[in-house]
């Protein structure tokens, strides 16, 4: 049976989950969490659409895991309501929410074989034997672990254990899958493979809503339809992944989501209609995609390291120059650090002049206005 089996409509045959069949969107309605007087999640209002992957990213202590645990039912909100589909689950215990969850350390039951781990949720929900056998077979097949059904978790590698954990979560056909730093315990190579596998899994299971908590921006950028960036218990920005990356609404987002160069500029001419704003960096005037800046505003021109070029190419109408400080050759990529009017500017390039430039050389940098955006200087969180 294909992975599409998990998106079938026959999900009411397991009686425990009250929320099943009621839709798979998640709605945070002014949800806050506090431990005593210490507020770890300030009132959060957020929607995750059915079938959407929302990545919550942020530094440690930013409240992203707390938000996920509130959805799972392990953290009681101090205020606000959480709805999954049409059901208010705020007061439901975790075992009645109809969710699947995968955590960083896999949390497989060590004394159970792989197939029993995967069958655990179905047995807990009182499914009959035939259904359990079918679901276990499907879930293991989906994650490519059918051949390991009789193994114990300790006989598997970290990546294999994480696949089993995903199969275990999928076997109960959750409307929402919660992934809490699921790849953090894996080494870099396996993590890259697993990101691709999760992406493929979601292509196969388009109806599955996923809340993905991570501190790894690459995982978030690769997998998420939307990203919510958390900081100090608040959502500092939220939107479609590409939009947040290309047009970060604030400095924290620009710096946290991918490396961004932020050059302090003064807006000379506001962007009108479809055009670009014009901003002054010292004596140089640059064109940039703008928001609602007005002439005279102080702002930050955001440009990603890979969008800076050492050579003038078509469409790269912006030109600045800087003093080369550092050169880091990393095989397929070369990273340069230049000093541009006192600001460190990073350049990542696959193409260089014939010889590596030496530190101390003044180099021109070219970039296209469409690859830039203006970030308000004072827009913190």
Partner 1 sequence: MSEAAVIGARPARVETGKFWILPPAALLALLFFYPLALIARQAFFDDSGMANVAEVTRVLHSRFFLNALINTVSISVAATAGCLIVGLVLALILAFVPFPGSRFVARLIDTFIALPTFLVTLAFTFLYGSAGMLNAGLMEAFSLPLPPVNFLYSSWGVVLAEVTVYTPFILRPLLAAFSLVDRGQIEAASVLGARPLRIVRQVILPAAIPALIAGGSLCLLLTVNEFGIVLFIGAKGVITLPLLIYGKAIQESQYQVACIIAVINIALSLGLFGLYRFAAGRLGA
Footprint of partner 1 (CB under 8 A): 14, 16-17, 72-74, 93-101, 103-111, 120-121, 124-125, 165, 168-169, 172, 178
To partner 1, the closest distance from the beta carbon of 78 in angstroms equals 17
Q: Which is nearer to partner 1, 108 or 379 (CB)?
A: 108
Q: Which is nearer to partner 1, 56 or 300 (CB)?
A: 56
Structure tokens at 376: 């308000």
Q: How many helices (H) and strands (E) does the chain have?
A: 8, 19
To partner 1, the closest distance from the beta carbon of 239 in angstroms equals 28
Backbone φ/ψ region at 219: left (φ over 0), alpha (ψ -120 to 50), beta: alpha
**Residue 177 near residue 28 (C-beta atoms within 8 A):** no
Strand partners, 166: none
To partner 1, the closest distance from the beta carbon of 184 in angstroms equals 13
List strands edge to edge, sheet with 38-48.
38-48, 26-35, 79-84, 87-88
Using CA atoms, how far apart are residues 148 and 233, in angstroms rounded to an integer? 41
**Residue 290 near residue 277 (C-beta atoms within 8 A):** yes
Q: Which is nearer to partner 1, 122 or 368 (CB)?
A: 122
**Residue 123 near residue 132 (C-beta atoms within 8 A):** yes
To partner 1, the closest distance from the beta carbon of 218 in angstroms equals 24
Q: Which is nearer to partner 1, 69 or 278 (CB)?
A: 69
To partner 1, the closest distance from the beta carbon of 176 in angstroms equals 10
Strand partners, 53: 210
To partner 1, the closest distance from the beta carbon of 99 in angstroms equals 5
Q: Which is nearer to partner 1, 172 or 301 (CB)?
A: 172
Q: Which is nearer to partner 1, 101 or 143 (CB)?
A: 101
**Residue 19 near residue 89 (C-beta atoms within 8 A):** yes
């Amino acid at each position: 049976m294909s992975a599409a089996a998990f998106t079938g409509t026959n999900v009411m045959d397991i009686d425990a989950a009250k929320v099943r069949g009621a839709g798979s969107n998640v709605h945070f309605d002014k949800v806050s969490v506090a431990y005593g007087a210490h507020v770890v999640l300030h009132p959060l209002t957020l929607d995750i659409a059915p079938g959407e992957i929302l990545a919550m990213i942020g530094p440690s202590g930013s409240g992203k895991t707390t938000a996920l645990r509130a959805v799972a039912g392990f953290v009681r909100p101090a205020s606000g309501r959480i709805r999954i589909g049409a059901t208010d689950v705020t007061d439901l215990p975790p075992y009645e929410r109809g969710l699947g969850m995968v955590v960083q350390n896999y949390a497989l039951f060590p004394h159970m074989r792989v197939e029993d781990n995967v069958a655990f949720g179905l047995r807990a929900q009182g499914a009959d034997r035939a259904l359990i056998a079918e679901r276990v077979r499907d879930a293991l097949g989906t994650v490519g672990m059918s051949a390991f059904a009789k193994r114990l978790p300790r006989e598997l590698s970290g990546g294999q254990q994480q696949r089993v954990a995903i199969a275990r979560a999928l076997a109960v056909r959750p409307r929402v899958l919660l992934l809490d730093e699921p790849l953090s315990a894996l080494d870099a190579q396996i993590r890259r493979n697993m990101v691709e596998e999760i992406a493929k899994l979601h292509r196969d299971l388009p109806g599955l809503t996923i809340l993905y908590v991570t501190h790894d921006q690459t995982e978030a950028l690769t997998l998420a339809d939307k990203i919510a960036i958390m900081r100090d218990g608040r959502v500092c920005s939220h939107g479609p992944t590409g939009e947040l990356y290309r047009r970060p609404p604030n400095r924290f987002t620009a710096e946290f989501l991918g490396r961004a160069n932020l050059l302090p500029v003064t807006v000379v001419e506001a962007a009108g209609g479809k055009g670009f704003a014009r901003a002054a960096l010292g004596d140089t005037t640059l064109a940039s995609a703008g928001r609602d800046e007005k002439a005279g505003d102080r702002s930050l021109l955001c440009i990603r390291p890979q969008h800076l070029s050492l050579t003038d190419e078509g469409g790269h109408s912006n030109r600045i120059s800087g003093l080369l400080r550092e050169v880091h050759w990393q095989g397929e990529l070369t990273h340069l650090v230049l000093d541009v009017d006192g600001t460190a500017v990073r350049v990542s390039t696959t193409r260089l002049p014939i010889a590596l430039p030496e530190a101390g050389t003044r180099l021109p940098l070219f970039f296209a206005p469409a690859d830039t955006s203006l970030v308000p200087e004072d827009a913190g969180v």
